[in-house]
Amino acid sequence: MRFSGWRVLREGLTGNKGWAPHWRDPEPKSEYDVVIIGGGGHGLATAYYLAKEHGITNVAVLEKGYLGGGNVGRNTTIVRANYYLPGNSEFYSHSLKLWETMEQDLNYNAMMSQRGIINLFHNDGQRDAAVRRGNSIVNQGDDAELLSREQVRELAPFLNFDNNRFPIMGGLLQRRAGTARHDAVAWGYARGADMRGVDLIQNCEVTGIDVKNGKVVGVQTARGPIRAKKVALAAAGRSGQVAAMAGLTLPIESHVLQAFVSEGLKPIVDHVITFAEGHLYISQSDKGGLVFGSYLDFYSSYAARGNLPMVEHTMETFVAMVPAVSKARLLRSWGGIMDMTPDGSPIIDHAPIDGLYLNCGWCYGGFKATPGSGSVYAHLIATDRPHGAAAKFKLDRFRSGVGLMDEEGTGAQHNLH
């Protein structure tokens, strides 16, 4: 089933009776070439690119719940490539380019909106860092513009320019950044993978990983054993637990990151805006809700809900940044489980077990990585060599200390990320 303007018109005139399910609901086969554990954004994108770029279609994606019910359904939908550190910068640049073509590629409306991101700065040091980051972004081939305080005021007049403690000095703008409809991203990749023959198997929790003589041979699931030549993890916040089934201990702590959405309001926020001093990011959804979040709760958690101190901090920062929102009502909040590495950067690598692959440690930045992660992970699984854009996402960097990717410059230590 192809989507087109003509198809929408025809269905509209005939009672919308011609729409079919977007993917099959197959029974698991007894054996696959590749089994992907985790039916979120990254797992589905990986399956899609395995089929499309590498012709590997005897693939199953195993999801313990429903497709897109994990972190891809629990984020603030921001897409950007304004990274500084070598390793991360080329990866997110690769990912943003895929975001720009994915809707045509998938024939699916993911509501990709390049509304631009503005990272505000409030003092000389932050401005210098923004200039340096901007130059680095331009050098990697992406776009960055330094905005003065007056240029920011023109684009975002609702910000609090009278904040004495954190005056807005200017901002770094990336126009190609923006947002995408998170659920549609999962659905689009699911449909694309299914159309190419990938089996998407929901309600199928993996309960064991079978390893024989140092080589992975399959998985045990809630729907019976499945043999596989290659097994690929894409379990986000549950990566530690899935890896433990293969006897691996990862450099990962799972933490909760909360996000919030207000009641629907008329359009006020045109961009994605981040407030550096108190760490806050906001955008407005197409339904009108203000979508925002700030820090992690900063302690290990699988609760998928947060605690009140970070709620309070986030609200305080938001009102300091946009005083007008103090009268808006909060519609809901949610928490996603983040797989945090000691240096705040991801791992895409072979596991120390033959035929087992790792894609984890996305910390607070998994959504914007979705297409890039899928494409480089598929490359690794298909060719057994790392993709050029992800060559630095090595597992052994923590052990050796060589090539640590401390994007935030806070130190490579668990409780700092």
Partner 1 sequence: MRITCPLCGERDRREFYYKGAALVRPAEGADLDAWHEYLNLRENPAGPLDELWYHEMGCNAWLKVTRDTATHEISAVELASEAGLGGET
User: Rounded distance, CA 414 to CA 298, Å?
Assistant: 10
Tell which one of 111, 300, 382, 408 touches partner 1 (CB under 8 A).
300
Q: Is 30 in the site for partner 1 (CB under 8 A)?
A: no
CA-based nearest residue to 228, from 190, 262, 201, 193: 201
> Cβ(12)–Cβ(359) under 8 Å?
no
Q: Is 415 in the site for partner 1 (CB under 8 A)?
A: yes
Q: Is 208 in the site for partner 1 (CB under 8 A)?
A: no
Q: Nearest approach, Cβ of 9 to partner 1 (angstroms)?
A: 49
Tell which one of 14, 104, 213, 249 touches partner 1 (CB under 8 A).
249
Q: Nearest approach, Cβ of 379 to partner 1 (angstroms)?
A: 26
Part in contact with partner 1 (CB under 8 A); list of ranges 82-90, 179-187, 243-251, 320-328 = 243-251
Q: Is 161 in the site for partner 1 (CB under 8 A)?
A: no
CA-based nearest residue to 51, from 384, 386, 374, 388: 374
| Token pair belonging to 299 | 């302690």
Part in contact with partner 1 (CB under 8 A); list of ranges 173-181, 345-353, 364-372, 407-415 = 407-415
Q: Is 290 in the site for partner 1 (CB under 8 A)?
A: no
Q: Is 333 in the site for partner 1 (CB under 8 A)?
A: no
Q: Nearest approach, Cβ of 402 to partner 1 (angstroms)?
A: 12
CA-based nearest residue to 330, from 318, 348, 343: 318
- Residue 416 β-bridge partners: none
Please list, in sequence order, all residues whose beta carbon lies within 8 angstroms of the beta carbon of residue 248, skipping any fewer than 6 positions away: 351, 352, 353
Q: Which is nearer to partner 1, 144 or 209 (CB)?
A: 209
Q: Would you call 106 exposed, middle or buried from its count of C-beta atoms within 10 A (0-12, 13-18, 19+)?
A: buried
- Residue 301 β-bridge partners: none
Part in contact with partner 1 (CB under 8 A); list of ranges 9-17, 36-44, 292-300, 383-391 = 292-300
Q: Which is nearer to partner 1, 66 or 302 (CB)?
A: 302
Q: Is 254 in the site for partner 1 (CB under 8 A)?
A: yes
Tell which one of 54, 241, 333, 382 touches partner 1 (CB under 8 A).
241
Q: Nearest approach, Cβ of 300 to partner 1 (angstroms)?
A: 5
> Cβ(370)–Cβ(223) under 8 Å?
no
The site for partner 1, by CB under 8 A, has a size of 23
- CA Rg, the chain, in Å? 21
> Cβ(375)–Cβ(94) under 8 Å?
yes
* 3-class secondary structure, 276: coil
At residue 324, what is the residue type? A
Q: Is 353 in the site for partner 1 (CB under 8 A)?
A: no
Provide the binding-site residues for partner 1, judged by CB under 8 A.
Answer: 240-241, 244, 249-254, 298-303, 307, 309, 342, 398-399, 413-415
